[in-house]
Structure 1
Amino acid sequence: MNKLLQSKMPIFEALEQYKASRTVPFDVPGHKRGQGNKELTDFLGEKCMSVDVNSMKPLDNLCHPVSVIKEAEALAADAFGAKHAFLMVGGTTSAVQAMVMSACKKGEKIIMPRNVHRSAINALVVCGAVPVYVNPGVNEALGIPLGMSYEDVERAIIENPDAKAVLVNNPTYYGVCSPLKKIVDLAHQHGLLVLVDEAHGTHFYFHDDLPISAMEAGADLAAVSMHKTGGSLTQSSFLLVQNDVNPGYVRQIINLTQTTSGSYLLMASLDISRKNLAINGKEIFDRVIELAQYARSEINEMGGYYAFGKEIIDGNACYDFDVTKLSIHTRDIGLAGIEVYDMLRDEYDIQIEFGDIGNILAILSVGDKDLAIERLIAALAEIKRLYAKDKSGMLNHEYVDPHVAMTPADAFYADKEQVPLRLSEGKICSEFVMCYPPGIPILAPGEYITPEIIDYIQYAKAKGCFMTGTEDPQIEKINIVQGNPY
């Protein structure tokens, strides 16, 4: 198959041509190329507002592409080694949900790690599929969940011969990868589809020294968060398809929930960023890897912190590690990750990706520079010097095994009542509870509320984690399923 010309940017080129035509707009959006909203135009700029346009024949239609968007999809598929690629403007959330709903119907089983992003469980609420959770491995020293072990996935497949698919994180938020190729081969031997959440793995496609990508491993569908490490605008992603998956059916699933007014700002950013990675990706990620390894070395040299890397690989639940992830364990200086996260932002004007109860994560990607890395290292050193304390009494784990009583859909739509969190022990949760980021549920609908979970939630709140998911914005009360004692 002939490689396509990756220097092309069909959506961007069509927008440039449209701007040059000076067409008079009597369509939506109502700001009419920025003329109707001066404050917004002053803020975003005339260049941006002039290409915030609606679908029309010269610009194609995201719901049913036949020209420039179709060409952009073909270029993306070529760049990522897929049979087909879809431009997603609802974030990787929409791509994950489209994957799940393409593979599973109501009542059908899907095998997945419990430390999935909420988007995957939300898909189960919407479509009524039944999760078969595989508890991830745990690194006891760091307290972090890992990936799924091959043996645990094999056991789940054997015990659930009617399952339709397996979902794998590649990588986790912390950079941990499961044995993806082995899981793909195993699942395919049993006739299951393999879906991969690659929200944090865009760069895997463009550098040989990084973990294997979903398409290279032979997976059937992958949700790729181009905006996270690929340089496109927030909320823009790709959904990749290969093997015998029918792209036409996947398109119909996407169109059930994705907007009919696709943003050309987001689509053009995917087009331009894809070109950049396809042509310059190796060089870009050479540099990112170099920066990350330097930062890891400097942070570990100062002591107290632990910026972990490939040494945590165990050949199974941590089969590989993404060295571009600057994941740092903070508990040994007596501070929760979220406390360091807050200090970096409030006192040093440094915004990292997230902090949880024992770790922080700094995302390094296409836009990072040496000076910024030095500033982060210096700030961490000063935080240690000024604020380090005894670590006794700190919670030492990030993952609580769930006890599942009902499917997410049954629990979410069940008759429910709201009770104080402290009185919810032994009840079945009817909503989500999670720290955001990363958006991995502590509790999902259908799970029993245990004393350990209540303690975890209270501890995370006390340390300053941003809690989301509950109807009660204060997370003082929680919705439970009526009439279901432990």
Structure 2
Amino acid sequence: MQNKTPLFDALKNYHKTDIVSFDVPGHKKRFQNEFSDYVGHKIIELDTNSMKELDILNNPTGVIREAHQLMADAYSADEAFFLVNGTTSGIQTMVMSACNPGDKIILPRNVHKSAINALILSGATPVYIDPEVDETLGISLGISVEKIKEALIKDPDIKAVFIINPTYYGAVSDLEEIIKICHEKNMVVLVDEAHGAHFPFHEKFPKNAMALGADMSAVSIHKTGGSLTQSSVLFLNHRRIKQERVKNMLNLTQTTSASYLLMTSLDVARKTLVTQGDEIFNDLLEMISKFREELNSIPGIRCFKSILSDKLYDFDDTKIGINLHGLGLTGFEGYDILREKYNIQMELADTHNILGIASIGDTWEDYQKLIDALKEMAENYEGNNQLIDFNELESLELVVSPRDAFYSETESIPLSEAIGKVSGESIMVYPPGIPLLIQGERITKDLIDHIYFLKEQKAVITGMNDKTLNNISILKGEHR
């Protein structure tokens, strides 16, 4: 069954008909311009609208429905839904499906901004849990079982738990035990598995959320599974959340003009992962192991896996974390040097580290170029940076819920005068898009100092209304 690609086959068959089109899209599959000349005219010919033989994403009964079921089977889920708005729409749908306004939901404080936006849309009340921290690397890890238990004792009326599996840096929590504890209390477990698309397809990877019994997960197949950017999948196990509610929430968050290019890329990526994944990831893991060995021989360079703390439950080997502290370089500086001098694009940077994503498109030639670049950097770069320790950033006090803060009246004041005020906006470094500050949290001096440091490092800071990053929006009135 997994050799089939029903949606892709239907699109190819439709393409052969050379139908006369009086529907959208307006290019009518033939209009040519410099875009079609550059990318190839077949992309324009395959960019089509929903119709009977191609099915309809928001009410699938034919080939999309069949492709959904194949995807669900591949990930050990009861149900799958293609997403063309990225995993963001999946995370929003999960939270809105599990929580009514006012319901409490546990979230690790290092969630992606899409989860915070889901709180605004749903009206759910966050119960933030600080993740474990690796002091050596200055990165957030997973959520411990003990912190989940503590939160449930303190707040027994919590409705749902939201877990990241894996984190951006590859940290994996004891998801199986967390699911067991939460289900014993009839709580819903939602999983952001944006970076775990590859998990089901090799025995050396951690188990994926749906196979462990999570209620819902959202997976970015495009990140590590080989589909086109913006194509993702939402998974559902039926027991605690009704399928009808999920469909209703999806119709709130997802376009009715779904791209068949994105959807068929999901259909084909699934087939490739199931039928060839073991071989593909065997080769990839061998390359990664060799790469780490060579990298760890470079003075001043350390790969994450060799130094991660015992606070880590499990780790995703496809996350290539590289600590540059021994070179005297910040991660931001190393990121810029690699891009500007060596034409190498890393996934992200932070105060101490750079991160690369290993996936099915990698070649050893790419790894060798990165090794050679880092060897030359180790020989030539000596920084004198006063690095800010990640752990010095204290947890922020949540004063107003993200939803209430979002709809509150705000005013802009100089960032330097904002200590003790309640933020009216979220601030994050992108990538990864994890908020340093969430609207409704109280602003601290440490946070302001860190923002100034990020400005000096020329990090890409998003979320602030003032693009000069000199002013910040705070709540007016009693909470200011």
Q: Does TM, normalized by the shorter one, top 0.5? A: yes
Number of the residue aligned with 1:254: 250
Alignment of 1:197-216 (within 5 A): 197-216=192-211
Whole-Å separation in 1 of the counterparts to 2:247 and 2:278 = 31
Do the aligned partners of 2:399 and 2:479 also contact (CA within 8 Å) in 1? no
Supply the AA of the counterpart residue of 1:335: L
Question: Which residue among 26, 29, 52 is the counterpart of 1:30?
Answer: 26
Alignment of 1:55-70 (within 5 A): 55-70=50-65
Residue 323 of structure 1 pairs with residue 317 of structure 2: yes
Whole-Å separation in 2 of the counterparts to 1:241 and 1:418 = 42
Alignment of 1:236-275 (within 5 A): 236-244=231-239, 245-275=241-271
SS of residue in 2 equivalent to 1:434: strand
Do the aligned partners of 1:178 and 1:318 also contact (CA within 8 Å) in 2? yes
Question: What's the TM-score, normalizing by structure 2?
Answer: 0.97
Q: CA deviation at 1:362?
A: 0.7
Q: CA deviation at 1:443?
A: 0.3
Whole-Å separation in 2 of the counterparts to 1:185 and 1:447 = 31
Number of the residue aligned with 1:88: 83
Alignment of 1:272-291 (within 5 A): 272-291=268-287
Question: 1:145-188, CA deviations, whole angstroms, 9 ceiling, x for partnerless residues?
Answer: 11111111111112111111000000111100111111110111
Number of the residue aligned with 1:356: 350
SS of residue in 1 equivalent to 2:189: strand
Whole-Å separation in 1 of the counterparts to 2:189 and 2:432 = 23
Whole-Å separation in 1 of the counterparts to 2:97 and 2:25 = 31
Whole-Å separation in 2 of the counterparts to 1:485 and 1:58 = 56
SS of residue in 1 equivalent to 2:186: coil
Whole-Å separation in 2 of the counterparts to 1:476 and 1:83 = 49
Supply the AA of the counterpart residue of 2:320: L
Do the aligned partners of 2:430 and 2:461 also contact (CA within 8 Å) in 1? yes
Whole-Å separation in 1 of the counterparts to 2:317 and 2:365 = 20
SS of residue in 1 equivalent to 2:3: coil
Supply the AA of the counterpart residue of 2:65: K
Do the aligned partners of 2:414 and 2:472 also contact (CA within 8 Å) in 1? yes
Do the aligned partners of 1:310 and 1:323 also contact (CA within 8 Å) in 2? no
Q: CA deviation at 1:248?
A: 2.3
Whole-Å separation in 2 of the counterparts to 1:340 and 1:310 = 20
Number of the residue aligned with 1:112: 107
Q: CA deviation at 1:202?
A: 0.8
Alignment of 1:416-431 (within 5 A): 416-431=410-425
Number of the residue aligned with 2:376: 382
Number of the residue aligned with 1:304: 300
Do the aligned partners of 1:305 and 1:332 also contact (CA within 8 Å) in 2? yes
Question: 1:257-302, CA deviations, whole angstroms, 9 ceiling, x for partnerless residues?
Answer: 2000000010010001011001011111112211222111111111
Question: 1:222-242, CA deviations, whole angstroms, 9 ceiling, x for partnerless residues?
Answer: 111100000000000011111
User: How many pairs align?
Assistant: 478
Q: CA deviation at 1:485?
A: 5.6
Whole-Å separation in 1 of the counterparts to 2:288 and 2:254 = 35
Question: Which residue among 155, 177, 186 is the counterpart of 1:191?
Answer: 186
Whole-Å separation in 1 of the counterparts to 2:233 and 2:479 = 43
Whole-Å separation in 2 of the counterparts to 1:222 and 1:41 = 36
Supply the AA of the counterpart residue of 1:324: T
Whole-Å separation in 1 of the counterparts to 2:478 and 2:451 = 22
SS of residue in 2 equivalent to 1:287: helix
Question: 1:292-330, CA deviations, whole angstroms, 9 ceiling, x for partnerless residues?
Answer: 22111111111211111165252xx52101111101111
Number of the residue aligned with 1:477: 471
Question: What's the TM-score, normalizing by structure 1?
Answer: 0.96
Supply the AA of the counterpart residue of 2:432: P
Do the aligned partners of 2:32 and 2:41 also contact (CA within 8 Å) in 1? no
Q: CA deviation at 1:247?
A: 2.0
Number of the residue aligned with 1:178: 173
Supply the AA of the counterpart residue of 1:425: I
Residue 141 of structure 1 pairs with residue 136 of structure 2: yes
Do the aligned partners of 1:83 and 1:241 also contact (CA within 8 Å) in 2? yes
Number of the residue aligned with 2:69: 74
Whole-Å separation in 2 of the counterparts to 1:467 and 1:29 = 36
Q: Structure 1 23/118 Cα, relative in aligned 2: closer, same or farther at 3 Å?
A: same
Over 4 Å off, 4+ runs: none
Please say which of residues 418-427 and 397-406 is displaced more in the overlay. 397-406
Q: Structure 1 90/400 Cα, relative in aligned 2: closer, same or farther at 3 Å?
A: farther
Whole-Å separation in 2 of the counterparts to 1:6 and 1:76 = 9
Alignment of 1:45-60 (within 5 A): 45-60=40-55
For structure 2, the residue ranges without an aligned partner over 5 or more in a row are none
Question: Which residue among 2, 7, 12 is the counterpart of 1:11?
Answer: 7
